[in-house]
Amino acid sequence: MSVMEEIAIAPEDKQRADLYNFLGLLLARPADDMLLSQVAGLTGDDSEIGKAVTMLARVARVSKPKSVDKEFNKLFIGLGRGELLPYASYYLTGFLNEKPLAKLRRDMINLGLSRAENIYEPEDNIASLMEMMGAMIVGRFGDAKDLNTQKAFFNTHINPWAKHFFTDLEGAKASVFYASVGTLGRLFMEIEAEAFRMSAE
């Protein structure tokens, strides 16, 4: 693709993609020392989401990789299962690997998205969905998708359950570091839902 053919990504869309990717990174695996250091260096503005970023940075400054790893395991893995099951199928049907996952897999094919070879989690995991949305906005796995395509994906695969998941993460018994991740995710999902609602059909 030549420079003339490249689609310009608006700064606000780049920021949206960055936040989706950031949430995906935080939820894919326990934050290590390097990631905690990066998160600790973040600063937010006076908006609600900015305050959530500031709080997350504060918590990261006093968090140790070992405690975050233990927290992640209690929340998402556990003995048999963690406190939360971060999958669309579970939140929408009460069971894993159900129709929401099948529908997501069909849509992924249509959008040119595929699961990474080294990932064995079902694709409707919250971390994977955050990564997919971020990738669609900036075209990381092909062409950047237009707003209507983003909206359709968000409203089908993320909006029906992600805010509920992030709210659960905020209040989970094992949540300390991840409670702040939950707050940031919940606020971002609210902003995205409202922005898509207000966008032209």
Q: For the chain, what are the domain ranges?
A: 9-198
**pLDDT bracket for residue 117 (50, 70, 90):** confident
Token reading at 32: 């290590």
How much is the pLDDT for 22? 98
pTM of the model: 0.93
pLDDT at residue 168 greater than cutoff 60: yes
User: Quick one: fold of 9-198?
Assistant: TorD-like (1.10.3480)
Among 27, 18, 23, 25, CA closest to 138: 18
Write out pLDDT tens, residues 53-76: 999 999 999 999 999 999 999 999
Those residues with Cβ within 8 angstroms of residue 29's Cβ, 6 or more apart along the chain or in another chain: 72
pLDDT at residue 35 greater than cutoff 50: yes
Mean pLDDT of 130-154: 93
Length of the chain: 201
pLDDT at residue 181 greater than cutoff 90: yes
